[in-house]
Chain A
């Protein structure tokens, strides 16, 4: 596709379950970013990759959050033992290079933890 895609679009999990959120960036984009957007808030940075290298994971809120991009394209954000406070929209963005390029955002995955 022409844009960033994310799946699933909606995910409901019971507290304690593990979830995996997928991001397909624009083909050829080197950089990939994950953001967490709580209800009524702006997105907050979680982590980013340049190709397969995770260059910054300082925004991950706990060690229950893990992200990978093993082949430098598709990325997965995994949340283990989900908690209610993990409920949010998770946005993925990609950009062509690791520079001040426009970041193209996906539609997000809305995670609800019951």
Chain B
């Protein structure tokens, strides 16, 4: 079974500062994908960034980047230049390769950006 752990239930960051959200996972799979989803108070989940496990290079999307450590099974999200609109729940998710494409989600981290 796959498990995803987010050990930080709540975090806060000053506007324009940088924050890192942690995620670890457990799997026996060798091929898989990792995702960060954002869920603002309106509740619609939005994809932030994704990483293919076979790629060594860390994914980057504008102010969002990941630190993927495959051996350590760690997948942290770094948000640079935090903006008020970044306030949301952030979910780390795991997807096995070629098997149904269902997500395994962590319990989430509630991020508040303070003006």
Contacts and interface: CB of A to CB of B under 8 A. Distances in A.
B105 A43 contact: yes
Contacts, number: 58
Q: Which of B42, B47, B100, B108 has the most chain A CB atoms inside 10 A of its CB? A: B100
Interface in A75-114: 89, 91, 93, 95, 98-103, 105-108
Please classify how large the interface on chain A is, using the bins under 10, 10 to 19, 20 to 34, 35 or more: 20 to 34
Interface of B: 4, 33, 37, 42-47, 50, 52, 91, 93, 95, 97, 100-108
Q: Which of B44, B52, B93, B104 has the most chain A CB atoms inside 10 A of its CB? A: B44
A29 to B, nearest CB: 12
At the interface, is chain B mostly helix, strand, loop or mixed?
strand
Interface of A: 3, 31, 33, 35, 40-45, 48, 55-56, 59, 89, 91, 93, 95, 98-103, 105-108
